[in-house]
Amino acid sequence: MKLQKQIGFEFEIGAPFAMRTVCKKIKNELGITGLKTQEDYTVTTPQKYDGEIVTPVWPYRQGIVNLRRIFRWFAANGVVTNETCGFHVNLSYKRTELNWMMDPLRLILCFNEEKWLKICKREGNDYTECYMDDLILSSSRKRFTNDGEVYKWINARIEDLSEEGKYRTVALDRLEDDNPYIEYRCLGGVGYHLRPNVMFKAIIDMANNMDRALPNARGTGFMAVKVKECFLHKSSIPH
């Protein structure tokens, strides 16, 4: 049985209109309601107004349809996105209890954060810090007595990193809320709204990553690759 998901988005953009006007125009012209504005002083574009627009939570399929329409509206109405602009994806299961049962370790190790950071040219961005950069030990695996000790260390390290207050590619801090969700922050960059197919592929990867993090999930083979990277020298890692 396919597990139902919910999705919402956060768009960091520059526009020829104030952010509230952007929301109003999208409502009037597309019939998409519930958009809200949020101040974001990290966004700097050549357009007259900079800021962030946040959507409500939608059923997954409806969210994808709305996203495509919003991207088209952005492209037709002078919206600018550059290296200061992020595109955040908030995902959750409709059944709240499933969100609480996801394994944070697998959410990180089964997701190719480096791939999407590279595609969006967001590597080294202070607001999308990569977990793997802080998981690489550059030392021998022999320091651990067995694989169980390895995963125990990685799990503890991921927990520490997620609580540091830094902006990570996968934000885990909302998973214990009453309305839990995961925020993926690795997308964005120059002209992200003009690359819808890339954004959709990334979103599918994110949604599949949630399934891999559930108890007894399959398709977790990539995790072994990421664990192996932890013990390589940083200079020998592809990303």
Q: What is the residue-level pLDDT of the chain in tens, covering all 239 positions? A: 579 999 999 999 999 999 999 999 999 999 999 999 988 889 999 999 999 999 999 999 999 999 999 999 999 999 999 999 999 999 999 999 999 999 999 999 999 999 999 999 999 898 999 988 888 765 566 667 777 888 888 888 888 888 876 789 999 989 989 999 999 999 999 999 999 999 999 999 999 999 999 998 887 788 888 888 877 655 444 45
Query: Tokens at residue 12, please?
Result: 């960091």
Cβ burial of 200 (10 Å; 0-12, 13-18, 19+) is: middle
Query: What pLDDT is recorded for position 161?
Result: 85
Residues 193 and 81 sit within 8 Å (Cβ to Cβ): yes
Query: What pLDDT is recorded for position 41?
Result: 86
List the domain range (segments joined by +) for residue 134.
5-236
Residues 213 and 106 sit within 8 Å (Cβ to Cβ): yes
| Strands in the chain per DSSP E | 5-15, 36-38, 49-54, 58-59, 86-93, 170-171, 182-188
Query: What pLDDT is recorded for position 142?
Result: 60
Q: How far apart are CA 98 and CA 24, in angstroms?
A: 35
> What total number of domains does the chain contain?
1
Residue 31, Ramachandran bin (φ over 0: left; ψ between -120 and 50: alpha; else beta): left
Q: How far apart are CA 193 and CA 177, in angstroms?
A: 30
Prediction pTM value? 0.90
Q: How far apart are CA 143 and CA 138, in angstroms?
A: 11
Nearest residue to 222 (alpha-carbon basis) of 132, 146, 139: 132
Sequence-ordered list of residues with C-beta below 8 angstroms from that of 210, at least 6 positions apart, any chain: 5, 91, 93, 102, 107, 182
